[in-house]
Amino acid sequence: MQYYSLQNPQHRVSFREAVIQGLAPDRGLYFPAQLPRLEKDFIERLEEYDPLYIGRHVIQPFIGDEIPDNHLRQIVSDTLSFPFPLREVEQNIYSLELFHGPTLAFKDVGARFMAGCLGYFRKHDPRPVTVLVATSGDTGGAVANGFYNVPGVNVIILYPSGKVSTLQEKQLTTLGGNITALEIQGSFDDCQRMVKTAFLDQELQDNYMLTSANSINVARWLPQMFYYFLAYRKIKQWKKEVVMAVPSGNFGNICAGMMAAQMGLPIAHFIAATNVNDTVPRFMQNGKYEPNAPIPTLSNAMDVSDPSNFVRILQMFSASETALKAHLSSYSFTDAQTVAAIGDVFKQHNYLMEPHGAVAYLGLKQYLKKSPNNVGIFLETAHPVKFEDTMPEDLRGEISIPEKVKQLYDREKQSVLLPNDYKSLKNWLMGQSYAV
Count of the separate structural domains present in the chain: 1
Would you place residue 157 in the very low, low, confident or very high pLDDT band (cuts 50, 70, 90)?
Answer: very high
CB-based contact 76:55 (threshold 8 Å):
yes
Answer for the pair 275, 359: CB distance below 8 angstroms, yes or no: yes
List the beta strands (DSSP E) in 51-128.
86-90, 93-97
Q: Give the DSSP H/E element, type plus range, for residue 156.
A: strand 153-160
Residue 170 located in a structural domain: no
Residue ranges making up the domain that contains 356 = 81-106+220-402
What pLDDT score does 123 carry?
A: 79
Q: What do you get for the CA distance between the two ends of the chain, in Å? A: 30
Range of lowest pLDDT (151-155, 231-235, 422-426): 151-155
Alpha helix segments (H runs only) across 263-412: 279-286, 310-316, 321-327, 335-349, 355-368, 403-408
Identity of residue 184: I
> Which pLDDT score, from 0 to 100, does residue 212 have?
80
CA angle 174, 177, 180 (to 5 degrees): 65
pLDDT at 313: 97
pLDDT at 239: 65
- Of the candidates 329, 313, 327, 326, which has an alpha carbon nearest to the alpha carbon of residue 364? 329
CA distances from 245 to 349, 359, 360 (A): 19, 9, 5
Mean pLDDT of 385-408: 85
**pTM attached to this predicted model:** 0.90
**Residue 261 covered by a domain:** yes
Q: Cβ(273)–Cβ(284) under 8 Å?
A: no
The better pLDDT of the pair 21, 70 is held by 70
Q: Rounded to an integer, what distance in angstroms lies between the CA atom of residue 118 and that of residue 165? A: 29
Q: What is the dihedral of CA 107, 41, 237, 49, to 10 degrees?
A: -50
Amino acid 112: pLDDT: 93
Q: Residue 395 belongs to a domain with what CATH number?
A: 3.40.50.1100
SS3 (DSSP) at 66: coil
pLDDT at 41: 95
Identify whether the C-beta of residue 99 lies closer than 8 Å to the C-beta of residue 380.
Answer: yes
Q: CB-side exposure of 198: number of CA atoms within 13 Å?
A: 32
Question: How many degrees, rounded to 5, is the angle at CA 426 between CA 420 and CA 428?
Answer: 90
- Asked if residue 425 is part of any domain, the answer here is no
Q: Can you point out the beta strands (E) in 47-113? A: 86-90, 93-97
pLDDT interval class at 199 (50, 70, 90): confident
Is residue 167 one of the residues assigned to a domain?
no
Contact indicator for 308, 314 with CB cutoff of 8 Å: no
Q: Is residue 353 part of a domain?
A: yes
* Residue 242 placed within a domain: yes
Could you give the angle at which helices 138-147 and 166-173 cross, rounded to 10 degrees? 30
- Which residues lie closer than 8 Å to 38 by C-beta, 6 or more apart? 57, 58, 263, 264, 265
* pLDDT confidence of residue 23: 86
Using a pLDDT cut of 90, give the percent of the chain over it.
Answer: 70
The strand pairing partners of 158, in sequence order, are 134, 182
Residue 319, SS3 per DSSP: coil
pLDDT band for 323, please (50, 70, 90 cuts). Answer: very high
Q: Check residue 44 and give its pLDDT.
A: 92
Query: pLDDT (tens digit, 9 = 90+) per residue, 108-150?
Result: 999 999 999 988 988 777 778 889 999 887 888 888 988 898 8
Tell me what the mean pLDDT of segment 351-371 comes to. 96
User: Residue 435 pLDDT > 60, yes or no?
Assistant: no
Nearest to 195, CA basis, from 179, 177, 182, 207: 182
pLDDT of residue 433: 66
Share of the chain above pLDDT 70, in %: 98
Residues 6+ apart with CB under 8 A from 231: 84, 86, 96, 244, 377
Residue 364 lies in a domain: yes
- Other beta carbons within 10 angstroms of residue 340's beta carbon come to 15
What average pLDDT does the segment 90-110 reach? 94
pLDDT value for 288: 94
As a whole number of Å, the CA-based R_g of the chain is 20
Give dist(CA 312, CA 214) in Å, integer.
Answer: 14
pLDDT digits (tens, 9 = 90+) for 282-316: 999 999 999 999 899 999 889 999 999 999 999 99
Helix or strand holding residue 139 (H, E):
helix 138-147
Q: How far apart are CA 316 and CA 262, in angstroms?
A: 8
The residues that bridge with 181 in the sheet, in sequence order, are 157
pLDDT in tens, 9-47: 999 999 999 998 888 988 899 999 999 999 999 999 999
Residue 206 domain flag? no
Taking alpha carbons only, the member of 71, 15, 370 closest to residue 222 is 15
CA-closest candidate to residue 182, choices 415, 420, 413, 411: 415
Sign of the Cα pseudo-torsion (27, 194, 429, 412, in order): negative
